[in-house]
């Protein structure tokens, strides 16, 4: 039974025209659809499978190297997009946590002045 990579290679004629194969894969990638890390991961897996297929092609040629380079560049663009998405999500989470912590601190604050708290502290230390 043929593996997924072998069936991709057979159906697309990778050995005969690796550049066309890479171009068809790259043209099928719409980076604007990467709105979350999961969508980016789908494209990363697809490109990885294609790269694995291309790396098994013999004989090696300039055309094959160009095809691999094209897929590598697409992979880099997707990974940069994923980093951008994760950075935005992290920033939003930090801001949300800051607002939550600020609200919690306001709830537990007694609104007392520093002199009141220091006098309370002094009274406690005198009893000890």
**pTM listed for this prediction:** 0.61
Percent of the chain with pLDDT over 90: 29
The pLDDT of residue 84 is 95
Give the separation between CA 77 and CA 100, rounded to whole angstroms. 35
Give the separation between CA 97 and CA 105, rounded to whole angstroms. 12
Of the candidates 48, 49, 68, which has an alpha carbon nearest to the alpha carbon of residue 60?
Answer: 68
Helices (H), 4-113: 4-12, 18-27, 37-55, 62-108
Mean pLDDT value across residues 55-60: 84
Report residue 80: phi and psi, to 5°: -65, -40
Tens of pLDDT, residue by residue over 11-36, are 445 666 888 888 888 888 888 888 89
Two tokens at 19?
């550049």
The pLDDT of residue 111 is 55
The CA–CA distances, whole Å, from 32 to 8, 29, 82, 95 equal 25, 9, 11, 26
Tens of pLDDT, residue by residue over 31-41, are 888 889 999 99
Q: What is the DSSP code (8-state) at residue 70? A: H
Over the chain, what is the mean pLDDT?
77
The pLDDT of residue 18 is 82
The pLDDT of residue 11 is 45
């Amino acid at each position: 039974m043929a593996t997924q990579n072998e069936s991709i290679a057979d159906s697309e004629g990778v050995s005969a025209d690796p550049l066309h194969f890479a171009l068809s894969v790259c043209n099928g990638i719409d980076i604007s659809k990467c709105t979350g890390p999961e969508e980016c991961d789908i494209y990363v897996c697809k490109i990885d499978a294609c790269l694995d297929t291309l790396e098994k092609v013999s004989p090696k040629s300039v055309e094959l190297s160009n095809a691999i380079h094209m897929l590598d560049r697409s992979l880099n663009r997707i990974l940069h997009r994923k980093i951008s998405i994760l950075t935005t999500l992290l920033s939003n989470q930090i801001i949300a946590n800051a607002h939550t912590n600020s609200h919690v601190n306001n709830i537990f604050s007694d609104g007392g002045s520093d002199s009141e708290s220091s006098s309370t502290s002094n009274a406690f230390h005198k009893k000890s």
